[in-house]
Amino acid sequence: MRIAVGADHAGVTLKGDITRLLAELGVVYTDFGTDTTASVDYPDFAAIVARGVADGSFDRGILVCGSGIGMAIAANKVAGVRAAVAADETAARLSREHNDANVLALGARLTPADTARRIVSVFLDTPFAGGRHQQRVDKITALDP
């Protein structure tokens, strides 16, 4: 599995925790930044990660900003991306099982590092259930421009 990771200035510390987890798990990832707490624009990082997932360069993406919401909104503008904000393990599991989410968005101001590590692990380990959910994902995909 290949993971694209990105964060803005609010998410840089939590992104570091996540990339350490990915390394511990032996997951191949590319960190697209930012690497500083200097103010940056989150849509720039969401676009890089989302485009990499959409074009197949990466299997999934992980984005971190203050709330996760802005990153998810920006990433979802890219055709083929289904970004979900997950505040807990259940949301992460359901985003994969039911929605085949391919990008996870986390809120650094809302999610403790230990919780984020569990969320990421669940997001990476949970397969799409398919079945009755496939027709719904197909309808979501049909909304892409």
Q: Which residues belong to the active site?
A: 65, 98
Residue 107 to residues 43, 102, 112, Cα–Cα distance (Å): 15, 17, 9
DSSP class per residue in 5-72: EEE-GGGHHHHHHHHHHHHHHT-EEEE----SSS---HHHHHHHHHHHHHTTS-SEEEEEESSSHHHH
Read off the amino acid at residue 144.
D
Is residue 86 a contact partner of residue 60, using CB atoms and an 8 Å limit?
no
